[in-house]
């Protein structure tokens, strides 16, 4: 019988030693740092338009659309008729950025003609138009033949950019045929 009490005393001594060593361990903490990077990004979503004057708009995708002028010239005088339309572009840019609008031809050009071409027998083959840009509380209006229009913002911005065009009535008559131009709209981070 002496053996059994001896075993019991050993277990009690082990438990007491284990409890004492748990209290003596210092508390340890670790820090995990989370980090990420939000790259600069500017996006333009699908454009929309309200009804224009002598013009209509159809969205082709988020990257393109088509403006059709219903009647470019007066049927009696062949002089340009007034037309106009505004396009709304949902825009988000998470950094400073610049919105650039430029005309590929400088205006509506007759197939095969150039901006500086002389009038053909009193007729013209080129029709500049007005471009208006409204974005981030800034606005500007200039002729399509005046070069690049730019609005620069020093901060992030989201909202609706409005790009409008308008042809002015009158002037020398236009040569019969198709007139086209591409209005190029670019949004780019500047940081």
Could you tell me the residue ranges of all domains in the chain? 42-189
Identify the H or E element spanning 167. strand 157-167
Q: What contacts 100, CB < 8 A, 6 or more positions away? A: 148, 149, 150, 184, 185, 186, 187, 188
- For the entire predicted model, the pTM comes to 0.79
Token look-up 């670019």 returns 186
Q: At the topology level of CATH, where does 42-189 sit? A: Jelly Rolls (2.60.120)
Which whole number is the average pLDDT over 16-34? 75
Residue 24: pLDDT band with limits 50, 70, 90 = confident
* Mean pLDDT, the chain, whole residue set: 87
Residue 114 has pLDDT above 90, yes or no: no
Alpha helix segments (H runs only) across the chain? 3-24
Higher pLDDT, 60 or 8: 60
């Amino acid at each position: 019988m002496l053996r059994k009490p001896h075993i019991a005393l050993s277990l009690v001594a082990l438990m007491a030693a284990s409890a004492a060593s748990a209290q003596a361990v210092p508390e340890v903490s670790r820090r995990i740092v989370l980090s990420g990077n939000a790259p600069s990004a500017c996006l333009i979503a699908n454009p929309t338009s309200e009804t224009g004057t002598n013009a209509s708009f159809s969205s082709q995708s988020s990257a393109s659309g088509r403006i059709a002028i219903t009647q470019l010239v007066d049927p009696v005088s062949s002089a340009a008729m007034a037309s106009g339309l505004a396009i709304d572009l949902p825009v988000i840019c998470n950094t400073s950025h610049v919105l650039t609008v430029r005309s590929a031809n400088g205006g509506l050009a007759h197939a095969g003609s150039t901006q500086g071409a002389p009038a053909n027998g009193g007729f013209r083959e080129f029709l500049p138009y007005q471009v208006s840009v409204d974005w981030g509380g800034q606005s500007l209006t200039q002729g399509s033949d005046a070069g690049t229009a730019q609005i620069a913002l020093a901060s992030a911005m989201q909202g609706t950019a409005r790009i409008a065009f308008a042809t002015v009535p009158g002037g020398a008559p236009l040569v019969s045929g198709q007139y086209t131009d591409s209005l190029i709209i670019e949004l780019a981070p500047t940081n």
